[in-house]
């Protein structure tokens, strides 16, 4: 009955058109009423404590770093570098999008920010080169969702806080899976692009490549600083976010000089608005998370999934299929916040490494950003590229299938995640 109240109140509130954050508060109030412990003061205290977390400070600073990266010219130079390196091969602009997405993912950790930048810079070029607009938009959307997997990742910060796990370990465990997603998209693009018969642009000279590398060096140093700083313990993930934001601001204002005080104000406002949405979601979800523990819903879920508990792989397959279904109707952050307190105790009871599960869980939710009908990243590409939603959806299908294939590959071969994660962690 408790699970029914939890799910029923949440779905009912969402069906009435109540925003997700307020739906979570309604769900929390319904659970408190069901447990005969309703108290508005407890509700308010949990909301405040939900956002009162040092690791969550990483969210606004990574948001800020992503905004600065796009406005300050860092994204543009990374795309230009990728263009000079692989733009001349057949379907080269697609590989440029994939390579640039992987590099940009190591700067911001925001799928929406990276996708918007890639779509604005590369989509017109790909269409002018003769590529299908729908397929090009689908490629850019699928490449943009690598951002939540390759560190630094805002999604890993949110999951780590919700599950009380090490954000640093999650960051390091996401490197190889993120790169595998990029490889899967590249292979798929090779299969679909070779049928188009486009004439690739001329190969860039060595002088042009060296110039592009020199101009992008300042941007490329940022992920190196973050990853090495985390690996060697120079700073925490939260401190890494501050380093990333300050460094990006320095490069944008002093080195590239593409951001002034006026644009800096606009960047701060944009980052603050996005941060406010995420933080309110987290705060509201923590009410439900506390009540989920009080109501012993994880224990009930363990009982429901008992037939699968003796086979961790089968249990993960069932959970991944469940998350895939949820991802078609809900955005990544609320899905993480709602399901993490329920599922993490289940996987721990089954003897599954929670860090490994976190990588799969976040990857599944990231792919959910390109699954219709919601597909936040699909909406971004459709908006920037002035396309119909169904066009982008049709174009993203082969790449989405490839990314799901990688996810299930990691389900059946956990060592692809756990072995590199242990190596990166030293």
Q: What is the pLDDT of residue 402?
A: 94
Q: What is the pLDDT of residue 50?
A: 67
pLDDT of 333 over the 70 cut:
yes
Most confident of 65-69, 138-142, 332-336: 138-142
Q: What is the pLDDT of residue 426?
A: 67
CB 328 within 8 A of CB 368: yes
CA dist., res. 174 & res. 179, Å (int): 9
In a domain, 5, yes or no: no
Give residue 1's pLDDT band: very low, low, confident or very high (50, 70, 90): low
Listed as own residue / partner, the contacts of 25-34 with beta carbons closer than 8 Å and 24 or more positions apart are 25/284, 25/287, 27/288, 28/284, 28/287, 28/288, 28/291, 30/5, 30/6, 31/2, 31/5, 31/6, 31/288, 31/291, 31/292, 31/295, 32/291, 34/1, 34/2, 34/5, 34/295
Supply the range of the domain harboring residue 349: 39-425
In a domain, 344, yes or no: yes
pLDDT digits (tens, 9 = 90+) for 292-328: 667 666 666 777 777 777 888 999 999 999 888 888 7
Tell me the percentage of the chain whose pLDDT exceeds 70: 93
Give residue 335's pLDDT band: very low, low, confident or very high (50, 70, 90): confident
Most confident of 20-24, 57-61, 314-318: 314-318
At 288, is the secondary structure helix, strand, or coil? helix
Q: What is the pLDDT of residue 410?
A: 95
Q: What is the pLDDT of residue 415?
A: 93
Mean pLDDT, rounded, for 158-168:
88
CA dist., res. 277 & res. 392, Å (int): 26
Q: What is the pLDDT of residue 3?
A: 66
Q: What is the pLDDT of residue 316?
A: 92
Mean pLDDT, rounded, for 379-401:
85
pLDDT of 174 over the 80 cut:
yes
Most confident of 21-35, 62-76, 244-258, 383-397: 244-258
Most confident of 48-57, 108-117, 178-187, 381-390: 178-187
In a domain, 336, yes or no: yes
DSSP per residue over 48-111, as a string?
A: HHHH--SGGGHHHHHHHHHHHHHHTTHHHHHHHHHHHHHTTSTTHHHHHHHHHHHHHHTT---H
If one counts the domains in the chain, the total is 1
CA dist., res. 408 & res. 396, Å (int): 18
pLDDT of 413 over the 90 cut:
yes
pLDDT higher at 67 or 188 = 188
Q: What is the pLDDT of residue 233?
A: 76
In a domain, 166, yes or no: yes
In a domain, 3, yes or no: no
In a domain, 27, yes or no: no
Give residue 357's pLDDT band: very low, low, confident or very high (50, 70, 90): very high
DSSP per residue over 239-250, as a string?
A: HHHHHHHHHHHH
Mean pLDDT, rounded, for 25-53:
74
Q: What is the pLDDT of residue 96?
A: 84
Give residue 106's pLDDT band: very low, low, confident or very high (50, 70, 90): confident
Mean pLDDT, rounded, for 5-12:
76
- Lookup: tokens for 150: 């390759």
How much is the mean pLDDT over the chain? 83
pLDDT digits (tens, 9 = 90+) for 89-101: 777 788 888 888 8
Q: What is the pLDDT of residue 151?
A: 85
In a domain, 19, yes or no: no
In a domain, 334, yes or no: yes
């Amino acid at each position: 009955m408790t699970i029914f109240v939890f799910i029923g109140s949440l779905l009912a509130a969402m069906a009435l058109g109540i925003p997700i954050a307020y739906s979570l508060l309604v769900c929390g109030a319904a659970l408190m009423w069901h447990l005969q412990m309703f108290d508005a003061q407890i509700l308010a205290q949990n909301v405040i404590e939900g956002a009162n977390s040092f690791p969550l400070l990483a969210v606004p600073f990574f948001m800020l770093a992503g905004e600065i990266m796009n406005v300050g010219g860092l994204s543009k130079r990374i795309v230009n570098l990728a263009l000079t390196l692989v733009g001349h091969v057949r379907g080269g602009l697609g590989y440029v999008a994939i390579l640039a997405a992987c590099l940009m993912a190591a700067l911001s950790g925001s799928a929406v920010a990276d996708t918007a930048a890639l779509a604005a810079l590369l989509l017109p070029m790909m269409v002018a080169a003769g590529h299908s607009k729908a397929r090009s938009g689908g490629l850019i959307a699928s490449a943009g969702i690598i951002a939540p997997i390759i560190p630094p990742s805002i999604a890993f910060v949110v999951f780590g806080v919700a599950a009380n796990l090490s954000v640093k370990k999650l960051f390091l465990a996401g490197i190889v899976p993120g790169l595998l997603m990029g490889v899967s998209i590249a292979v798929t693009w090779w299969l679909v692009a070779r049928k188009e018969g486009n004439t690739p642009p001329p190969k860039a000279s060595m002088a042009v490549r060296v110039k592009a590398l020199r101009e992008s060096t300042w941007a490329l140093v940022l992920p190196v600083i973050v990853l090495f700083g985390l690996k060697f313990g120079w700073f925490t993930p939260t401190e890494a976010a501050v380093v990333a934001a300050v460094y990006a601001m320095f490069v944008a204002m002093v080195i590239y000089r593409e951001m002034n005080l006026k644009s800096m104000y606009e960047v701060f406002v944009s980052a603050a608005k996005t941060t406010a949405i995420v933080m309110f979601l987290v705060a509201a979800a923590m009410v439900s998370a506390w009540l989920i523990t009080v109501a012993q819903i994880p224990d009930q879920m363990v009982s429901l999934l008992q037939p699968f508990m003796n086979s961790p792989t089968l249990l993960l397959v069932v959970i991944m299929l469940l998350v895939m279904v949820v991802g078609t109707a809900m955005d990544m952050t609320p899905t993480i916040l709602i399901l993490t307190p329920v599922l993490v105790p289940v996987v721990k009871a089954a003897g599954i490494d929670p860090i490994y599960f976190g990588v799969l869980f976040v990857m599944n939710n990231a792919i959910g950003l390109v699954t219709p009908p919601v597909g936040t990243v699909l909406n971004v590409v459709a908006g920037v590229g002035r396309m119909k939603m169904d066009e982008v959806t049709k174009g993203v299908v082969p790449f989405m299938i490839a990314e799901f294939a990688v996810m299930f590959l990691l389900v059946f071969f956990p060592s692809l995640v756990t072995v590199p994660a242990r190596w990166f962690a030293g």
